Amino acid sequence: MPAAAPTVNPQQTGRWPRRLGLSLMLLLVCAALAAVAYRYAEDAAIDRLRLSGAQRLDTYAAGLEHLLSKYDFLPGTFELNKDVIALLRQPGDEALRRDVNIYLERVNRLAGSTSIYIVNLKGVTQAASNWRAPDSYVGDYIAFRPYIREALRGMPGGFYGVGTTRGEPGYYFARGIYHEGRMLGVATVKVNIESLEASWAEAGGKALLTDAHGVVFLSSVPEWKYRTLAPLTPAARQELEQSRQYFSHALTPLGLREVRALDARARIVAGPPPATGPMLSQSRGLVTRNWQMVYLSDLAPARASARAAALLTVLSEALAVMLVLYARQRHRLGRQRQRAREDLQRAYDQLEHLVADRTASLEQITRELRDENAVRRQAEEQLRKAQSELVQAGKMAVLGQLSAGITHELNQPLTALRTMADNARVLIERGRHADASANLTTISQLVERMGQLTGQLRQFARKSDTRPSAVPVADAVTAALFLVERRIAQERVGFRMATHPRDLYALCDSNRLQQVLVNLFGNALDAMEMAGSHPRQLAVEAGGAGARVLISVTDSGPGIPEDVRAHLFEPFFTTKPQGKGLGLGLAISEQIVRESGGRLRAESLPEGGARFIIDLPRAE
């Protein structure tokens, strides 16, 4: 089979770039979807964080307000104490100072504040709850502190700051002490609100409180304290240094960097150390105190959930793509299967067609064969008939050849018969009955012999039925010999016959075997006569060889030359003069033997003479 030449489908050449383009587009769409999912999930998570952050801010602010409101009223109560009023009016009375100190000490303990002290109009502390301590406020000049200044100006002051004596932070409540409509001094209560930091830190998240300048003064992260959200303006820095609000702290910027503003109160910032990564920053003002409460939530969980959403989207997309590919593959397979089914059906139809055609032509051939067979049978029948007629013709030819001898054979006894009959009549007339009787016996013998001869002739001329039977070989030889007996005697041919065993049977038609033998005897006698051979010998030997019977007819004639031997069994081949031979004898004999399942062959003997061997199946 020749190798199939590679074929290029023009449709396929343009398909790959298109597929690549489609794949790229699909990839882009998937990536875009994943990005949208990421953004959406992040926004949702940020929204949740904002909600909880806002709640925290509200809670922390309320907590702070509540804590501070507890002390709001306290500075106002000191003008009700007459000792306080008296001390402010008579600043030199040490006994009175001592009473006021003890009083302040008690109130401070009861209120849970850090310290309480009374300042005169010059800004010098007259009495303090911590009067016993070595670094007591008593006698300190603190007119530069903003809350004192404001209170002296008649405005109740609130202030968060770091103490200048001990450096302790706290919220300062300050309020003027009035007596009979005249201000005598200022009462100050300092409250520690740092405890809030611990509660913020405990709740998680990062909360801070800044003042109007953006200075962080409370923070759940200790490192961020006394730092600023943004760099301070020179004016603010100067003011803070004057008031020594944060004592000696440097107030450096925290380094919060805005990444994205969400709205006025929320933005995403890059967190300062020790925080890492972006954070959600939410702020809320405190109404009463010009402070900002800031709450920072870590964005890492939001980012993680966004990543998970994006991953889920990618996985879903991959699943969808796989499903689509699977469906397409199934569809394609289905189509291929359908095509294969159709091809198969077509092939099947073609095959059926082919089979029908072949069947028709086979039927035709069968019909023709049947016709041919009939013709052949007819031809065979005719051939058989022709052969049979040929055999008969051969016989007749032999008979013709024998006729001269036979006529002589019959004429002689006939003459003898007439003579002897005449003699018998004379002898009876003369009364010599005994001699007449002897004569009659001889006549009877002669008649019998003649009857035998004619019987043999009839037998020989008869058309045989060619049905094979067990033929005694010796009988067939004797019967054949009978027809050439006279020639043997006349031509002085020595005849010898031997069969072994005596009762040897051949499976053939006896009449035809006789015909073959008569032919062979005649040919042998002809050959010896024509060559003038001397002495003349004719020998017949028959013997069994296993399942075969071999009958040989040997003469002492000239033998058979090689060129003659090649044509011996051909019809009409003869070396005899015209009128003597027809060239049919051996051809017919060979055919007869072959039809009986045997073979006829000839050989030339080295010592001279020819031998014909009839090989036939043996019969029991």
Listed in sequence order, the DSSP H helices in 430-472 are 433-461
The binding track of 142-171 with respect to ligand ADP, each residue x by CB under 6 A or -, is ------------------------------
Q: Name residue, tokens 């095509």.
A: 339
Q: How far is the CB of 607 from ligand ADP (least distance, A)?
A: 14
Binding mask 536-575 for ligand ADP (x = CB under 6 A): -------------------x-xx-x---x---x----xxx
Residue with Cβ nearer ligand ADP (57 or 600): 600
Return the residues of window 572-591 that contact ligand ADP according to CB under 6 A. Answer: 573-576, 581-583, 585-587
CA distances from 382 to 84, 235, 369, 397, 510 (A): 173, 151, 19, 22, 24
Contact segment (CB under 6 A) with ligand ADP among 162-170, 343-351, 477-485, 516-524 equals 516-524
The Cα–Cα gap between 615 and 594 comes to 9
Q: What is the 3-state secondary structure (H, E, C) of 337-394?
A: HHHHHHHHHHHHHHHHHHHHHHHHHHHHHHHHHHHHHHHHHHHHHHHHHHHHHHHHHH
Q: How far apart are CA 67 and CA 170, in angstroms?
A: 12
**Least distance between ligand ADP and beta carbon 526 (Å):** 6
30 binds ligand ADP (CB under 6 A): no
CA-CA distances (angstroms) from residue 180 to 155, 184, 287, 402?
18, 10, 33, 202
| Residue 161, both tokens | 């700051």
Phi, psi of 493 (to 5 degrees): -100, 130
- Minimum CB separation of residue 570 from ligand ADP in Å reads 8
- Residue number, 131 or 521, with CB nearest to ligand ADP: 521
How many binding residues for ligand ADP (CB under 6 A)? 21
Supply the minimum distance, in Å, between the C-beta of residue 394 and ligand ADP.
9
| Residue whose CB is less far from ligand ADP, 150 or 555 | 555
Q: Which of 207, 610, 614, 616 binds ligand ADP (CB under 6 A)?
A: 610
The answer to whether the CB of 190 falls within 8 A of the CB of 116 is yes
CA dihedral 358, 363, 365, 366 (to 10 degrees): 140
Give yes or no for residue 524 binding ligand ADP (CB under 6 A). Answer: yes
Cα gap 146→161, rounded to integer Å: 10
Decide whether 289 or 576 has the Cβ nearer to ligand ADP.
576
Q: What is the 3-class SS of 209-238, one letter each residue?
A: EECCCCEEEEECCHHHCCCECCCCCHHHHH
Q: How far is the CB of 553 from ligand ADP (least distance, A)?
A: 8
Q: Which of 81, 136, 283, 523 binds ligand ADP (CB under 6 A)?
A: 523
Report phi then psi at 225, rounded to 5: -75, 145
Q: How far is the CB of 446 from ligand ADP (least distance, A)?
A: 32
Binding mask 105-144 for ligand ADP (x = CB under 6 A): ----------------------------------------
Antiparallel, parallel or unpaired: β 610-619 and 115-120: unpaired
Give least dist CB 616 to ligand ADP, A.
19
In the shown chain, the binding pattern of residues 40 to 79 toward ligand ADP, with x for contact by CB under 6 A and - for none, equals: ----------------------------------------
Interstrand relation of 278-286 and 182-191 (parallel, antiparallel or unpaired): unpaired
Residues 6 or more apart whose CB falls under 8 angstroms from that of 49 comprise: 280, 297, 299, 302
Interface residue list for ligand ADP (CB under 6 A): 519, 523-524, 527, 555, 557-558, 560, 564, 568, 573-576, 581-583, 585-587, 610
